[in-house]
Chains A and B, each alone.
Chain A
């Protein structure tokens, strides 16, 4: 297994948290990994992104010029990263905020109304967990159930009241991607 993931969206959509959580899951599953956030001025107000590389082997570069998966939460992210996605790569797209069709036919596309599914689960801000649920159910890094358990480790205690909403969101995203 060698997976290079780029996650991208508006600052505040939980892009960095999603990346760190995937990194944590990968560590718990015994993989090698690197997590690299964008830390430029674009984080404030604009589009933020991070790169997670997961592998059985030693990871050379922590950067990815052609990721195998991209998770895009907003339109600017689609425009920026879709051209870089590897042939046959996986695009997970938040269709609640992106009304545009990806301009490629050589990739696998999963469209997810993440904001709506998150709202249904109880909190629109857990759209990132909907996207993550979809990712996990497709790539099988770990089971959605185990991810729900691991979430307790990474979520600061003051937010533990939100564990249930996050759990529902993960499951909802996973189920949607399987349909």
Chain B
């Protein structure tokens, strides 16, 4: 696809995954990400890949586990309640060091909640979600083109680190259509040979993939190895975008759809002479704490915008470490902030 086409975010996830070499998709339907499951049902057979509508979310993530240990680029997707069900499998993927890509188009919670866009799964995505000491690389794309590019990067990073990668979008991003160019990603970019996959032990000694490690001291050793990996991710994989932070008196921090609305507010208050900037984390884990820490001693305050009761704001506060006030404005339960609400909040703070 060299020309720009008009596609919704959910379909773009599917096509970008296929162009990145994904040949295994298992999922279970849930709004607002059904267009993705439907797209994969149509496209995977065309590409000689596998599409399975699983009997449950647990089955879907476990099928991804199986496909991954056999060497396939594998993915699953869901929305908030379904992602909660997948957490056991995600912890197992991380523990067994299996690459996989998981997409969460978030909706209002807790519980079954509603189908409106939300960002209230940030804690779940970035602080573990399942049990045990592990992290996922978490992307928070803000537009359809970026979604396409990050899908490709997600498969590469999953393979490179042998770790699951999560795309954290929301109902708006999934449903929205924008012009997009989806590039074919040829081969695996600097990804090591998969010399660990289970292919049948013909002519070689068997390989073992397991996360049950009972021998004294061995599990701690395994965990130290995982932590070394997470440290490298923190050094190398942070992505963010900033605008106007050099002479700002107030800096907004927001990701995904919230960041787009925050930008609209930014344009409104800038025309009134307010010096405002924005930092938009693209990786939510690892979190761009350094850029936030660096500016915190020279600005008036931060304002964090989320479609949640306040989750990422905690990471901003950790990064700022008391050097300036960190304010919050959020809507929850599927509520979406308007640019006018954010502008009003900015004026109040200055």
Residues in A lying within 8 Å of B, measured CB to CB: 20, 23-24, 27, 32-37, 39-41, 59-63, 65
Q: Is the Cβ of A60 less than 8 Å from the Cβ of B264? A: yes
Encode contact with A along B265-293: 1 for CB under 8 Å, 0 otherwise. Answer: 01100000000000000000000000000
How far apart are the CA atoms of A40 and B267 in the complex, in Å?
30
Q: With contacts A27-B6, A35-B6, A39-B32 known, what are 6 further pairs, Cβ within 8 A?
A: A32-B179, A36-B176, A36-B177, A39-B115, A40-B115, A61-B264
**Chain A neighbourhood of B157, CB < 8 A:** none
How far apart are the CA atoms of A34 and B266 in the complex, in Å?
19
**Chain B neighbourhood of A35, CB < 8 A:** 6, 176-178
**Chain A neighbourhood of B177, CB < 8 A:** 20, 23, 34-36
User: What are 29 A-B pairs with beta-carbon distances under 8 A?
Assistant: A20-B6, A23-B6, A24-B6, A27-B6, A32-B179, A33-B178, A34-B176, A34-B177, A35-B176, A35-B178, A36-B172, A36-B175, A39-B32, A40-B115, A40-B116, A60-B260, A60-B261, A60-B263, A60-B264, A60-B267, A61-B261, A61-B263, A61-B264, A62-B176, A62-B260, A63-B261, A65-B338, A65-B339, A65-B340
A175: shortest Cβ distance to chain B, in Å?
Answer: 28
How far apart are the CA atoms of A61 and B256 in the complex, in Å?
11
A159: shortest Cβ distance to chain B, in Å?
Answer: 18
Interface size grouping (class) on chain B = 20 to 34
B236 lies within 8 A of chain A by Cβ? no
Partner of B4, one of A27, A36, A60, A62: A27
Q: Is the Cβ of B175 less than 8 Å from the Cβ of A39? A: yes
Encode contact with A along B150-173: 1 for CB under 8 Å, 0 otherwise. Answer: 000000000000000000000110
**Chain A neighbourhood of B257, CB < 8 A:** 62
**Chain B neighbourhood of A24, CB < 8 A:** 6
Within 8 A of A (CB), among B331-350: 336, 338-340
A10: shortest Cβ distance to chain B, in Å?
Answer: 20
B56 lies within 8 A of chain A by Cβ? no
Partner of B172, one of A20, A60, A62: A62
**Chain A neighbourhood of B263, CB < 8 A:** 60-61
**Chain A neighbourhood of B175, CB < 8 A:** 36-37, 39
Most chain B CB within a 10 A radius of its CB, from A24, A36, A62:
A62
Closest partner residue, chain B, to A62 (CB atom) = B176
**Chain A neighbourhood of B300, CB < 8 A:** none
B53 lies within 8 A of chain A by Cβ? no
**Chain A neighbourhood of B264, CB < 8 A:** 60-61
User: Which 8 pairs of residues, A with B, have the shortest CB-CB distance?
Assistant: A60-B264, A60-B263, A61-B264, A35-B177, A61-B261, A65-B338, A27-B179, A36-B176
**Chain B neighbourhood of A59, CB < 8 A:** 260
**Chain B neighbourhood of A23, CB < 8 A:** 6, 177
How far apart are the CA atoms of A24 and B4 in the complex, in Å?
11
How far apart are the CA atoms of A22 and B336 in the complex, in Å?
25
How far apart are the CA atoms of A66 and B176 in the complex, in Å?
19
**Chain B neighbourhood of A34, CB < 8 A:** 176-178
B31 lies within 8 A of chain A by Cβ? yes
Closest partner residue, chain A, to B339 (CB atom) = A61
Partner of A63, one of B4, B116, B266, B336: B336
**Chain B neighbourhood of A41, CB < 8 A:** 115
